[in-house]
Amino acid sequence: MVKLPLLQRYRALVDLPEHTKLVSLHEGDTPLIPLPRLATELGDGFELFAKFDGLNPTGSFKDRGMTAAVSEALGRGAKALICASTGNTAASAAAYAARAGLRAIVLIPEGKVATGKLAGAVAYGAQVLQIAGSFDKALELVVEISERHPIALVNSLNSYRLEGQKTSAFEIIEELGRAPDWLCLPVGNAGNITAYWMGFRQYHQLHSSGLPRLLGVQAAGAAPLVLGHSVEQPETVATAIRIGKPARGEQALEAAQESGGRIIACSDDEILAMQRRLAAEGVWVEPASAAGLAGLAKEISGGDVDVKGMTVVAVCTGHGLKDPNIISDSMPSPIKIEANYSSLENRLFDYK
């Protein structure tokens, strides 16, 4: 049976204007993958799942929101889209613009966008411009140009992005039969955590599905919501969340607080260790996408969160293939052997 596009499947729950003209790449419907070994390592008697949103069409969760933002923009007659991006939004905007036959312009921080993301934006035909500045400055610039010219802004300041992104909460509830006890996820510009909270609250109002506590996780070098002030020069290996002035920071803090959860920070080492640990269970995500679980590990080991008997979902926002250099730069070259059977057997079984 052909599956319906995300926005049609959740038509009754997603608030989009009449003029919306659907642009879809069959996003969403991503798997909730059990992580039993990691759960046993981290704590006692709890269930842990990865919502692997890196399995969306362009390799990140951004596609959920982009289908909505681009469908709305196309319907109202937009001819061009623009966004600032640490990479994933750029690739997603470029793909949906291509699908819709619209021009896409993306503004990125120079030298800080992972290879797979930049290649994606180029492959889908976006006009890519870079600035010697951070994502925060790029966002400021695209907001201004979209106010002065007829170019649709598709960053998560665009509320339709959140309408699309909240559908992940619906999928999680439908698969588990209720909301999880904790949801942990990375936080950058803070649109996603805001969207999840919208989604969980909406579903709970309709179906009493319960509400999770939210554990938002920033990188220590880009943690404005933990520090309580913006960060002028954010720095982290998790370039997706290298953001010092999150556009939806206030809402994210409110969501975390209202849920009974919090926003914390993890070091780059903790994030990279969790990236490796997840890959060891068959789930390869980009560094930022391991932040939610790194935060969970930290909270459990520090005694700040007791997960016994609970169900925890970690949102893995982007695929490992987005940022291959993180792995390949520190990778030993594959061992060379002679092209014959005995070399292979000797190598594998250590025969002399």
- Contact with ligand F0G (CB under 6 A): which of 93, 190, 300, 305? 190
- Contact with ligand F0G (CB under 6 A): which of 288, 297, 305, 313? 288
> Which residues share a beta bridge with 313?
49, 183
* CA atoms 213, 218, 220, 225: torsion sign: negative
CA trace torsion 210, 308, 314, 287 (10° rounding)? 160
Cβ partners under 8 Å of residue 309, min gap 6: 45, 46
- Our CB check for ligand F0G shows the closer of 68 and 187 to be 187
62 to 101: interface string for ligand F0G, x by CB under 6 A: x----------------------xxxxx------------
Number of residues that bind ligand F0G (CB under 6 A): 22
- Our CB check for ligand F0G shows the closer of 23 and 217 to be 217
Helix (H) and strand (E) counts for the chain?
Answer: 15, 10
- Our CB check for ligand F0G shows the closer of 30 and 192 to be 192
Tell which residue, 48, 31, 67, has the closest CA to residue 293: 48
Q: Name the amino acid, one letter, at 195.
A: A
- Contact with ligand F0G (CB under 6 A): which of 78, 241, 253, 255? 241
Nearest distance in Å: CB 316, ligand F0G: 8
Query: Position of tokens 């798997």?
Result: 31
Is 118 one of the binding residues for ligand F0G (CB under 6 A)?
Answer: no
Give the whole-angstrom CA distance, residue 289 versus residue 181. Answer: 20
Q: Name the amino acid, one letter, at 121.
A: A
Nearest distance in Å: CB 240, ligand F0G: 3
Q: Name the amino acid, one letter, at 346.
A: N
Is 292 one of the binding residues for ligand F0G (CB under 6 A)?
Answer: no
CB of 112 closer than 8 Å to CB of 86: yes
- Contact with ligand F0G (CB under 6 A): which of 25, 118, 142, 240? 240
Give the whole-angstrom CA distance, residue 55 versus residue 27. Answer: 9
**Region 156-175 residues binding ligand F0G, contact defined as CB under 6 A:** 156
- Contact with ligand F0G (CB under 6 A): which of 162, 318, 320, 326? 318
- Contact with ligand F0G (CB under 6 A): which of 180, 186, 234, 249? 186
Distances (CA, A) of 244 to 228, 233, 249, 312: 11, 7, 10, 28
Coil, helix or strand at residue 340: coil
Is 239 one of the binding residues for ligand F0G (CB under 6 A)?
Answer: no
Is 209 one of the binding residues for ligand F0G (CB under 6 A)?
Answer: no
- Our CB check for ligand F0G shows the closer of 5 and 54 to be 54
- Contact with ligand F0G (CB under 6 A): which of 58, 146, 167, 189? 189
Nearest distance in Å: CB 216, ligand F0G: 8
Tell which residue, 156, 116, 164, has the closest CA to residue 135: 156
Site for ligand F0G, rule CB under 6 A = 60, 62, 85-89, 156, 186-192, 240-241, 286, 288-289, 317-318
